[in-house]
Structure 1
């Protein structure tokens, strides 16, 4: 029998956490999302299933942790214009998703269609990212350049929706500047 990793109590053991996320990543690469079960990950990581469930209460939460671990933080630089900010966000996302992380995230989105736990984890992640994306619209509002015709939250949803669509249809080579220009055309106050 394989020896399990030592627990350090209620705190996460960084070595065990890394082993679990490594194991889940390897299984994902080998067998796809359906192969990533809590039992398979625990066995490969030499960790107890109870540990996995304590740290990631669902398989969806574990899969999102795998993605988050590999995901760089997408920063939203202040370029001075809403169009420039949206362009910078799209370029950063498209660049990030052109790596293996994009494939992982596409799998998560696809599998969430039939997996309630994963759908819930994805929705939590989407709302978190949406709030973060809203920062660029808050900046535009503070600069006085944002139109009052469309709520800022809906603008953020449109940018996110456009980005996710490009990921799902494999168009990460799209012209981010052109998309940004088209999206923000009606969102800025005329000069």
Structure 2
């Protein structure tokens, strides 16, 4: 066998086929919808998608990686740009809570967090996803810095973590129906601090 033929054989199936990948993600969504997280497995997804488990594991190295892609595909959360940091953050949290509450995404993400407590691959996948989300939320803070609403030396990543912590706590304690006044109070405490005004 020539060198080119050997190289060609090694790469068969390595490149992700968009149609097959879509079929696998749709199958994963179907399994989650019908069997919930407890019934979710790569085997069940493979059966439903009529795909081989090795193909799924080649493109998603763990169950958590596949779940995160399903979650990202479903996630449609608007990040407001109102010109005011408190309105932006409160609007973002309201949109996020509504998305988690009104779609299967909240259950998927809650399950991922739970799995990450005992599964190293799930923890790594969640950490990688969270890093990207931290940067995304941090951009709201950077925009506010450019407008002069936030001090130049504030670490946008830490503020993003505070907002994420508030959101995750509400997700994990099933308190996604928080009213606007409470969300705005939490945002105000983050943005303005809790020390008494002089």
Bucket of the pairwise TM-score, normalised by the shorter protein: 0.7 to 0.9
Partner of 1:43: 47
3-state SS of paired residue (1:18) = helix
Larger Rg over CA atoms: 2
Partner of 2:4: none
1:181 equivalent in alignment to 2:188: yes
The worse-fitting range, judged by mean Cα deviation, of 14-23 and 119-128 is: 14-23
Report 1 or 2 for greater relative contact order, CA contacts < 8 Å, sequence distance ≥ 6.
1
TM-score between the two structures when normalised by the length of structure 2: 0.81
Equivalence map 1:23-172=2 (5 Å):
23-72=27-76, 74-99=77-102, 100-147=104-151, 150-172=154-176
Q: Which runs of 5+ in 2 are unaligned?
A: 1-11
Say which of 19, 26, 49 aligns to 1:22.
26
TM-score between the two structures when normalised by the length of structure 1: 0.84
Segments of 4+ moved more than 4 angstroms? 8-11
Q: Give the RMSD, CA atoms, in angstroms.
A: 2.2
Contact 2:139-2:156 at 8 Å conserved across structures:
no
Give the structure with the higher percent helix: 2
